[in-house]
Chains A and B, each alone.
Chain A
């Protein structure tokens, strides 16, 4: 296991070393642009229906500051630890990558546990996906984000197994960088959920 601590002899910015790596990273940015559009349609639907509560619970009845702030801080912190993992990847420190990405995964899991707990609580209060247009749009938007986070957890877990087996190469480095981009993107989407859903819900 001593090789884990060893600094691998990698070029600077290993993820951009090959034409293939550069193109795949650019391709992933194009994918993220498409994801921006996907989420925008769900945000538009939510914002149009947010006051159509059909006599059911409203945003003010449901949302609790402590809960959504905890979720937001967990995700922001996971974005930071994921950024540190990218930094360690560029330094060629495999152990650092595994530690920070592992921590990112734990924070991601913590976020999912909190979000599922929130949904269960809301359903217990009579706020199901079928209660009103507001809640249908709410659950679809938040679950789409939640599914993305869950897939991210699975993706990064598999990727870390590959890093353990193959070490940090230009190829695994590029994969780590792209998975990092995905994770940060999910944090950006959550910032807009935090703003457009939770804060807006408590303002108006």
Chain B
């Protein structure tokens, strides 16, 4: 058991390294590349989602405890969040188009 715990110190350092890399890649994609704006936006959103997954797995230990119920409730929260955010942007897009 103590070996498993020792391994998780490396686990945390790996999580930190991943989160730093993802942050700087997002900054680079957004500000220092000449990609079209839509590609940049999709890219940084994907990087943010990866960043969230890193935090959930490496730091928040989402796979421990009541694993299925935790993931279900969090998944439902994220589903509602996507509906609210994407739905609002979608509706307001049509709103400005008809003006």
Q: Is the CB of A44 within 8 A of B77?
A: no
Kindly name the residue among B26, B31, B41, B61 whose own CB sees the greatest number of chain A CB atoms within 10 A.
B61
Nearest Cβ distance between residue B65 and chain A, in whole angstroms?
A: 5
> Interface size bucket, A side?
35 or more
Q: Are B64 and A13 in contact (CB under 8 A)?
A: yes
Interface size on B, residues (CB 8 A): 48
A-B contacts, 24 listed (Cβ < 8 Å) = A26-B69, A29-B70, A33-B76, A36-B78, A36-B81, A37-B84, A39-B81, A41-B84, A44-B85, A47-B85, A76-B20, A76-B23, A79-B16, A79-B19, A80-B15, A83-B15, A87-B8, A191-B51, A191-B52, A194-B48, A195-B45, A199-B27, A199-B31, A203-B30
Interface residues of A (CB under 8 A from B): 12-13, 16, 22, 25-26, 29-30, 32-37, 39-41, 43-45, 47-48, 65, 69, 72-73, 76-77, 79-80, 82-84, 86-87, 90-91, 180-181, 184-185, 187-188, 191-192, 194-196, 199-200, 202-204
